[in-house]
Chain A
Amino acid sequence: MTDHILRMSGITKTFPGVKALQDVTLSVRRGEIHAICGENGAGKSTLMKVLSGVYPHGAYEGEIRFEGETCEFGGIRDSEHAGIVIIHQELALSPQLSIAENIFLGNERARRGFIDWNRTNFEAAQLMERVGLRENPTTVVSDIGVGKQQLVEIAKALSKEVKLLILDEPTAALNDDDSAHLLDLLRGLRDEGITCVIISHKLNEVTAIADSVTIIRDGRTIETLDMATDAVTEDRIISGMVGRALDNRYPPHEPTIGEEVLRIEDWTVYSPSQPGRKVVDGAALTLRRGEIVGLAGLMGAGRTELAMSLFGRTYGVNISGKVFKDGKPIEIRTVQDAIRHGLAYATEDRKRYGLNLIEDIKRNVSAAGLSGLSRRGWVDEHQEYAVAERFHKSMNIKAPSVSSVVGKLSGGNQQKVVLSKWILTEPDVLILDEPTRGIDVGAKYEIYTIINRLADEGRAVLVISSELPELLGLCDRIYTLSEGRITGEVPRRDATQERLMHLMTKGQE
């Protein structure tokens, strides 16, 4: 009989209106590296939050057995006490503290309430040695690179006598050398007897390091593969991740494709927080009038960064490349430039970047197009009302009046307000970043219909989406992005989920 360190069974987690996890099973053998694969939103992170106690016992259904005992974690402290440590994608280090202080944060080496600094730094040095981090324990964390910060996190986990280490996308922000070092370290920890669970989009890493892999799709466990006995290839994992039937959740659309309206060439963007890291690398794409173009990529591929850097340099540093509008080269330095050149960008996070939630519908609709509603700096409030009322009807925004506060609307109706705001600026190119995220099925259909209508009006639409079926159902052409590079361009008739996922997970050769 196999020795399982962890068995999760029948895990179901419901958020209002959404079943994020449904009867999920996960069994991890002692001393293995176990990968969890799935599309964005498949439920991987939710499952790990259930395991680590972020969602406490009672907030979910199902059973967790760790080390043969049933666990009812009330919070992260409980799970850590049992020996389960999770390292999130966004590192949880305190940047102004030293490496040693971070390692023992919340777990200080102290005597009668006073920190024993000699012991702190001595033990930190030992842990750092174990993870291969060659730095002074007193170095401030913000002075070392992300790769080394990741090692600090692991050292911190080791200080807690970890039995099961969970890493969420550990290499997403790392360069190749740091990634290779990290994977070696995980192998070493496995040999010391520490079980690891890693969540990763990089399938080449998964096949290289994992002993078994569990595939999750739409909140359900699809299968668990044993790398030693099953012949597991990247293709095999992909088919598990995407094997989903397409249904007619998409309105039919016959495109009328016209002239090229926007082209970017050799678009390169560097990360503002990690100097020297290319987030977008030599990307090129073309958009034509009347065309709906998809941009597919996994989390961290650089989709939003590409869009925001193009939209008035709202993301990134050292941006280089050429932009052509209607065949003529243009410069877009600010959001105002972008709007003037007929670009619109509806962000993926409506509430943070798209809307003023405390204002009403009409003032949100007019927010980007006030110049068209004003004369010599004075807003024509009656015209503003009339315009908002027009969108209220044409977009079918479900609200009592255009004076309703936007924060009260449902996600779908908020998204319609965002779209109205941008349509008011009369754009030639609309970039829609996750236009249906957090929206229920009925409203999604309405949003798709609006997108089709926008294309029929002769605009070019670029849709960024994590949901492959959505891209396949909506787009005339799809670009794939992986690690900041355009890895493919697939016309609708040739596009399948497998083909796209293959291109999206293509690493650098």
Chain B
Amino acid sequence: MSSITPAGVKAGAQGGGGGEPRRPGRVSLGGLSLNLRASGIYIAFALIVVLFSVLTDGALLTPQNISNIIVQNSYVLILAIGMILVIIAGHIDLSVGSVVAVTGALAAVLMVNMGMPWPLALLLTVVAGGLIGAWQGYWIAYFGIPAFIVTLAGMLLFRALTLTVLGNRGIGPFPDQVRTLANGFTSGYLGNIGLGPLGGADLFSLLIGVIAIAGMVTAQWRSRAARAGYGQSVEPIALFALKMAAGAAVILFLVVQLARFHNLPWVLVLLAILVLAYSLMANRTVFGRQIYAIGGNLQAAVMSGVKVKKVVFWIFVNMGVLSAIAGIIFAGRLNQAGPTAGNSFELDAIAAAFIGGAAVQGGVGKVVGAITGGLIMAVINNGMSLIGSPSERVMLVKGAVLLAAVAFDVWTKRRAGAAG
């Protein structure tokens, strides 16, 4: 009876359908078992950073350049958070670039042309983003049109809407508060302190960094203790300490460099909050679990009582909201909403998700992975422009990295499949 399909399952909406189980490849390093597929992306990121640090004689990791990388790529990283959820559920969203443009334009019209107070305008813009997501989510989840088609149409529709609103010119300038959010830095609330040979640095930023490290270590330690309490296996204490030390070192380095330059960029604060919140959502909430269940096996999810249509609908609403936030930040950074805003952002966000370990069939992926994927592209972009590579060569390298990342993923899967 292989012909029976649960009612309401639109075969076309699912890309492929997972027949073969995916098995993570593992390598053993001196008795230390390492999940290659899960951690490969972080190792690759570290290698790329080291490579460009050497190639740029350290220019990559100067305080100002780190700040630039974050501020210049924040909107794509925000989009990547929404995109990874869409891709885990087995869908795709091609419209986010156009949604960034139309929401940026809306924010500009509300604030600049209509003189609306900026907090209200931002709220309305975000709500509009949600409504755009709801529009697309309706066609995908309830009407059963594949997301590829709906969002391809959305890409055209919302670009057309942007051009209708803006004509051929940009609208600006934005209020200072919005520009600060997009482009600015936290104030030096506590003044500077001297860091010896490194010069002066913002005390407030350093304190935030220390708090972040303390929070990370505490949360990880408590989780480890709870796991042990339930009789689950935990990693050896030495490995745990090593991981924590590495994490702390990265955060500390980042914060010290930023504190030496200009304090913390507001978008970094926003990004940190979003990454934390969405990681928790994906792993720890019923909704997050259902996203993985739908992408892993749509039909099994239906038969397990997951309200598939509702979950897919809300994933797209969420994508719309995040696109609106990215739209505001992009417009704020340029200090004007332009008709070409967000061009090809969808491709950057999708590439970030796939470089970050998402699977084409769905069901696999992590928010932190997508962010790392986005940062890999950001570092390549930035590093290559620092060494003066022409833009066509940057594009070439980015394309090769995307292909290599997915090829690696497929290869580890196949190798694990053959071994099992």
Interfacial residues, chain A to chain B (CB-CB below 8 A):
90, 272-273, 299-300, 304-305, 308, 311-317, 334-336, 338-339, 345, 347-349, 351-359, 363, 366-368, 370-371, 374, 377-379, 381-382, 385-386, 389, 401, 405-408, 421
Contacts and interface: CB of A to CB of B under 8 A. Distances in A.
A299 B21 contact: no
A322 B18 CA distance: 36
Contact of A382 (B23, B24, B230): B230
Nearest to A350: B300
Given A368-B305, A408-B420, A358 B6 contact: no
A359 B6 contact: no
A345 B300 contact: no
**Chain B interface: which size bin?**
35 or more
Contacts of A368: 304-305
A195 to B, nearest CB: 29
For the residues of B in contact with A, the DSSP-based class is loop
Contact of B296 (A304, A359, A379, A421): A359
Given A304-B1, A359-B296, A405-B21, A345 B303 contact: yes
B305 A355 contact: no
B21 A367 contact: no
Interface in B148-171: none
A335 B363 contact: no
A308 B303 CA distance: 9
A291 to B, nearest CB: 24
Interface in B387-402: none
B21 A407 contact: yes
A315 B4 contact: yes
B314 interface: no
Interface in B403-420: 420
B243 interface: no
Contact of B285 (A300, A377, A407): A377
Given A339-B305, A353-B6, A408-B420, A378 B300 contact: no
Which 7 A-B residue pairs are closest in the complex by CB-CB distance?
A407-B21, A356-B296, A357-B21, A368-B304, A314-B6, A335-B305, A356-B297
B231 A389 contact: yes
A339 B306 CA distance: 11
Contacts of A351: 19
Nearest to A309: B7
Given A313-B7, A315-B6, A377-B285, A357 B296 contact: yes
Given A305-B4, A357-B18, 16 more contacts: A305-B1, A314-B303, A335-B303, A345-B303, A348-B1, A356-B296, A358-B21, A367-B304, A371-B286, A374-B286, A382-B226, A385-B227, A389-B230, A406-B21, A407-B21, A421-B304
Contacts of A401: 233
Contacts of B66: none
Given A304-B4, A313-B7, A378-B285, A356 B293 contact: yes
A385 B232 contact: yes
B285 A347 contact: no
* Residue of A90, A334, A335, A382 most packed against chain B (CB within 10 A): A335
A446 to B, nearest CB: 22
B321 to A, nearest CB: 18
* Residue of B4, B231, B297, B420 most packed against chain A (CB within 10 A): B4
Contacts of A406: 21
Contacts of A389: 230-231
Contact of B299 (A352, A367, A382): A352
Interface in B226-246: 226-227, 229-233
A352 B300 contact: yes
Contact of B292 (A352, A363, A408): A363
Contact of A386 (B1, B230, B302): B230
B364 interface: yes
Contacts of A356: 292-293, 296-297, 300-301, 363
B4 A367 contact: no
25 contacts: A314-B8, A316-B7, A335-B304, A335-B305, A351-B19, A353-B297, A353-B302, A356-B300, A356-B363, A357-B22, A357-B297, A359-B292, A359-B363, A367-B289, A367-B304, A374-B285, A377-B285, A377-B286, A382-B230, A385-B227, A385-B230, A389-B230, A389-B231, A405-B22, A405-B23
B63 to A, nearest CB: 39
* Residue of A299, A300, A353, A421 most packed against chain B (CB within 10 A): A353
B33 interface: no
B57 to A, nearest CB: 44
Nearest to A408: B420
Contacts of B306: 367
Interface in B6-27: 6-8, 18-24
A338 B306 CA distance: 12
B18 A379 contact: no
A351 B17 CA distance: 11
B410 to A, nearest CB: 14
Contacts of B7: 272, 313-317
B302 A314 contact: yes
A407 B22 contact: yes
B3 interface: yes
Contact of B307 (A336, A347, A355, A379): A336
B285 A358 contact: no
Contacts of B4: 304-305, 308, 315
B2 interface: yes
Contacts of A354: 300, 303
* Residue of B1, B300, B363, B420 most packed against chain A (CB within 10 A): B300
Interface in B277-303: 284-287, 289-290, 292-293, 296-297, 299-303
A370 B289 contact: yes
Contacts of A385: 227, 230, 232
